[in-house]
Structure 1
Amino acid sequence: MRPRLHDPGYFLDRRVLSYLNVTSFGVAAYIQISELRGDLISALVERWRPETHTFHFPCGEAIITLQDVAVQLELSINGEAVTRLGKVLNP
């Protein structure tokens, strides 16, 4: 498995970044991937069960939760849920 990454010089359009900032997810645009382990990704792909949306390991089932993602990416998940944009932004 060979991962496909964006050009290291790639950056989001300012208009998209302003929407991310309104929802407190602007930090996600700055996430850098230092190393992708193809062997580990392949192992997870082999253990994924789309019927239950879980990974099946010898020790049992596992799932990735919103809290797991928030901890890994240092994202804030406090406050009101974002279901739609409440105001128009002028980037």
Structure 2
Amino acid sequence: MTWLEDYLSENGETASKTVKDAAVLAGIGRRTVERAAQRMHVLSVAAGFPRTTHWSLPGGIALGSNFEPITEPHHPIVVPENADVASDFTQGAEG
């Protein structure tokens, strides 16, 4: 496991500046961690004002976490048998 993978596994989505600063403190150059991020296909998302870039592992899940993805909805949607769901959508398009 690389330093970057380990860091993002433990911390999840993190501001790229924070990751790079932590890398420097660990004795790893900023450009080195940027190249590692490219090789690992780290997800980079810019948002907000002022614009901040956040890095996360592909799949958006911290590998070291206890996160378990939800495979089924917690609250299933129940539609009555006699409901005309299709007409609900077409009525909005006509008017």
Q: If the length of structure 2 is used for normalisation, what is the TM-score?
A: 0.23
Q: If the length of structure 1 is used for normalisation, what is the TM-score?
A: 0.23
Larger Rg: 2
